[in-house]
A and B are shown apart, each in its own frame.
Chain A
Amino acid sequence: MALMPIAVVVVGVFLPAYPLRILDLVLLYAILGMGLNIVVGYAGLLDLGYVAFYAIGAYTYALLASPQFDLHLPFLLILAIGAGLAALAGVLLGIPVLRLRGDYLAIVTLGFGEIIRVLMNNLDWMTNGPQGIARIDEASLFGWRVSTPVDFLYLLVGLAVLTFLFVWRLQESALGTALAAVREDQDAARGCGIDTTGVKLIAFATSATIGGVGGVVFASMQRFVSPESFTFWESLSIVLVVVVGGLGNPFGVMLGAGLLVLVPELLRAYADYRQLLFGVALVLVILARPMGLIRREYGPSWFARKLMAR
């Protein structure tokens, strides 16, 4: 399993610029997908406004490291601030909704995603409105300047590995078990003494944090942010990454991220039909393989057991 990231780096370093950028994008979506998977796959709740947390992260970096307010804080500090703000937004949004059964989460997050976009579009004094914020600083980590696609490959592989280990351990932890119980039968879980609201809130906030981190990295990669990057379609794409790849399975999410980035690239000529195909794919996958392409059982723990058994 440890060979996979090394393989990605080795392959990636020799790729020309364009495929390398796509590989970076796959990794970014894999990170976001693994984050969203905590809510959708582990807790069984639908979050349709994940892009809001992503946007919060991206705008945090854009505002704190650009000529906009002439602030140039270091990358790691902003990473922490962005993640913190996203988590805070997740908690504030989760409190009214997650006390309930959670069906409403879908519609509330959908609304929240829209609100964040409307705010970014209209708070001109802060966000420059639809024009967005340009000339964002280069990221730098302990003196290492992250600027070329290869640099981002290293950064994203590192982050993806960290996220993967994190969500794997989360799934196997007591919290992960509690989430599975809530997903399967909330009343029974409550009967077993699980604080259902509490664990759902933790899951939601954790997922938001990863979204925020993804947003900060996105902003440092593009060095330009505008509300256009944070539409409902972006949220839907990340949901698709999770659902198509495998609900509750990080391997599935990686596969989903690969498919969701590569297939539209290959179908560029049919750009008009892209969203239509997305919709058809979503319905067909749900009908044919409700658990996604790779089932929940064949996750990291299963893989680790297989390796040990040999």
Chain B
Amino acid sequence: MATLVLQQLINALTVGAIYALIALGYTMVYGVLRLINFAHSEMFTAGAFVALFAAGLLGGVTGHPGVALLAGLATFVAIGLLGVSVEAVAYRPLRGTSRLAPMLSALGMAVVIQNVVMLAGGRRPLIYPSFLPRGVINVAGAIVSYKQLAILAVALVLMVGLELLVNRTSLGVKIRAVAESAETASLVGINPNLPIALIFFVGPGLGAVAGILYASYYGVATFSMGFVIGMKAFTAAILGGIGSIPGAVLGGLLLGAIETFATAWMPALTHGVIGTEYRDIFAFSVLVLILLFRPSGLLGEHVSEETMVYKRDF
């Protein structure tokens, strides 16, 4: 029993770390622009496909381990640049118009990116070669694969890097200033376009790495895989308190845990009435429950629901 729980905890951490990486992109964009960036889920998908292409150029991912690392870095940069261009083309011209316009534009970009991926990579699911090391170790009876350890390590490195960028550099100060108030930031001489572009570089880059990790973990990639994952990652961002970077990480890990344990225990608890096919519904139920009881999320400052002004603790 204890072994089983430990095993599920490790699985939950792995999935949660991936959710957290994606949630970071949603939370940073929402914190600054108040925009639900629907295109973000497609950065995740595009990341997985671009990495496969890059690895192919470098002679295949199964060869030297450096190939995986190099392809991963190239993908981070490529998808980061894609994010910056999407912002410049589709969101910036709409800044300061209605709240609806940029959201619709983001939705359109999501559709465009997903279909470009489909036309380039095919409709059918691709068997995805692992970018991560093979093998397993045994920890107190639970089986931990090197894949899982690598996913956790990569996620940790990226999160610490982001934390340092936002809290220890002058660029980070600018990001936090613009998130607090773009107008006030421009009064003290900060051009909001630079920090916003930076956010649209880092967020999609992290999402793309999450895409590689996810596809390597499950060994398969489809052009439409971003849709549901994106929704879950956004739920994680709300769960943690949207606009908050530590919140996104916490939300991702928690959502991974809720989903893993609910999927494992629900069929037994309800005598098979609620089966594993309802896995995607748990995340959604969590979303509705948070909105009902704590709309500012776990780490968001508790404020009146009507104003929804969040503490943005970048």
Residue ranges of A at the interface with B (Cβ–Cβ < 8 Å): 40, 44-46, 48, 96-97, 99-101, 103-104, 106-108, 110-112, 114-115, 118, 121-122, 186-187, 190, 196, 232, 236, 239, 243, 247, 272-273, 275-276, 278-283, 286-287, 290
In Å, the complex CA distance between A99 and B305 comes to 7
Instruction: Give the residue name and chain of the B residue nearest to A99 (CB).
Output: B305
Instruction: Give the residue name and chain of the A residue nearest to B97 (CB).
Output: A290
A282 contacts B307, CB within 8 Å?
A: no
B94 contacts A287, CB within 8 Å?
A: yes
B119 contacts A276, CB within 8 Å?
A: yes
A278 contacts B111, CB within 8 Å?
A: yes
Instruction: Give the residue name and chain of the B residue nearest to A243 (CB).
Output: B104
Instruction: Give the residue name and chain of the A residue nearest to B109 (CB).
Output: A283
Closest CB in chain A relative to B282 CB, distance in Å: 11
B36 contacts A103, CB within 8 Å?
A: yes
Query: With a CB–CB cut-off of 8 A, which chain A residues contact B281?
Result: 115, 118
Closest CB in chain A relative to B130 CB, distance in Å: 29
In Å, the complex CA distance between A286 and B93 comes to 10
Question: Do A118 and B278 contact each other (CB < 8 Å), given the known contacts A107-B231, A290-B98?
Answer: yes
Confirm or deny: B288 has a beta carbon within 8 angstroms of a beta carbon on chain A.
Answer: yes
Confirm or deny: B308 has a beta carbon within 8 angstroms of a beta carbon on chain A.
Answer: yes
In Å, the complex CA distance between A275 and B111 comes to 7
A287 contacts B34, CB within 8 Å?
A: no
B287 contacts A107, CB within 8 Å?
A: yes
Confirm or deny: B125 has a beta carbon within 8 angstroms of a beta carbon on chain A.
Answer: no
13 contacts between A and B (CB under 8 A): A46-B103, A48-B107, A100-B295, A104-B291, A106-B38, A107-B36, A107-B238, A114-B231, A239-B104, A272-B119, A275-B114, A279-B114, A280-B108
Chain A facing B: main interface SS:
helix
Chain B facing A: main interface SS:
helix
Query: With a CB–CB cut-off of 8 A, which chain B residues contact A196?
Result: 306
B101 contacts A100, CB within 8 Å?
A: no
Question: Do A282 and B104 contact each other (CB < 8 Å), given the known contacts A118-B278, A187-B307, A276-B116?
Answer: yes
Query: With a CB–CB cut-off of 8 A, which chain B residues contact A118?
Result: 277-278, 280-281
Query: With a CB–CB cut-off of 8 A, which chain B residues contact A115?
Result: 280-281, 284
B36 contacts A106, CB within 8 Å?
A: yes
Question: Do A279 and B104 contact each other (CB < 8 Å), given the known contacts A103-B34, A104-B291?
Answer: no
A276 contacts B90, CB within 8 Å?
A: no
- 8 A Cβ contacts from B218-253 to A: 227-228, 231, 234-235, 238
Closest CB in chain A relative to B165 CB, distance in Å: 26
Instruction: Give the residue name and chain of the B residue nearest to A101 (CB).
Output: B308
Query: With a CB–CB cut-off of 8 A, which chain B residues contact A103?
Result: 34, 36, 99, 103
Confirm or deny: B110 has a beta carbon within 8 angstroms of a beta carbon on chain A.
Answer: yes
Confirm or deny: B115 has a beta carbon within 8 angstroms of a beta carbon on chain A.
Answer: yes
Closest CB in chain B relative to A27 CB, distance in Å: 25
> How many A-B contacts are there with CB distance less than 8 Å?
121
Query: With a CB–CB cut-off of 8 A, which chain A residues contact B263?
Result: none
Write out, one digit per residue, whether chain B residues 169-186 have a CB within 8 A of any chain A CB (1) or not (0): 000000000000000000
Query: With a CB–CB cut-off of 8 A, which chain B residues contact A107?
Result: 36, 231, 234-235, 238, 287
In Å, the complex CA distance between A236 and B103 comes to 13
Confirm or deny: B11 has a beta carbon within 8 angstroms of a beta carbon on chain A.
Answer: no
Write out, one digit per residue, whether chain B residues 23-58 have a CB within 8 A of any chain A CB (1) or not (0): 000000000001010100000000000000000000
The 7 A-B residue pairs with the shortest CB-CB distance in the complex, in nearest-first order: A279-B111, A282-B108, A283-B108, A276-B115, A279-B112, A111-B284, A96-B292
Query: With a CB–CB cut-off of 8 A, which chain B residues contact A104?
Result: 238, 291
Question: Do A236 and B107 contact each other (CB < 8 Å), given the known contacts A122-B278, A283-B90, A286-B94?
Answer: yes
In Å, the complex CA distance between A115 and B305 comes to 26
B100 contacts A44, CB within 8 Å?
A: yes
Instruction: Give the residue name and chain of the B residue nearest to A276 (CB).
Output: B115
In Å, the complex CA distance between A112 and B285 comes to 10
A275 contacts B115, CB within 8 Å?
A: yes
Closest CB in chain B relative to A116 CB, distance in Å: 10
Instruction: Give the residue name and chain of the B residue nearest to A275 (CB).
Output: B115
Given contacts A118-B278, A196-B306, 4 further A-B contacts (CB under 8 A): A107-B231, A114-B228, A276-B112, A287-B105
Closest CB in chain B relative to A248 CB, distance in Å: 11
A279 contacts B101, CB within 8 Å?
A: no
Q: Which of B231, B277, B306 contacts A122 (CB 8 A)?
A: B277
Closest CB in chain A relative to B143 CB, distance in Å: 30
Closest CB in chain A relative to B286 CB, distance in Å: 10
A100 contacts B291, CB within 8 Å?
A: yes
In Å, the complex CA distance between A111 and B308 comes to 21
Query: With a CB–CB cut-off of 8 A, which chain B residues contact A114?
Result: 228, 231, 280, 284
Query: With a CB–CB cut-off of 8 A, which chain B residues contact A236?
Result: 107, 111
Max chain A C-beta neighbours (<10 A), residue from B108, B287, B288:
B108
In Å, the complex CA distance between A278 and B281 comes to 28
Query: With a CB–CB cut-off of 8 A, which chain B residues contact A44?
Result: 98-100
Question: Do A280 and B280 contact each other (CB < 8 Å), given the known contacts A232-B227, A290-B94, A290-B97?
Answer: no
Query: With a CB–CB cut-off of 8 A, which chain B residues contact A287?
Result: 90, 93-94, 105
Query: With a CB–CB cut-off of 8 A, which chain A residues contact B287?
Result: 107-108, 111
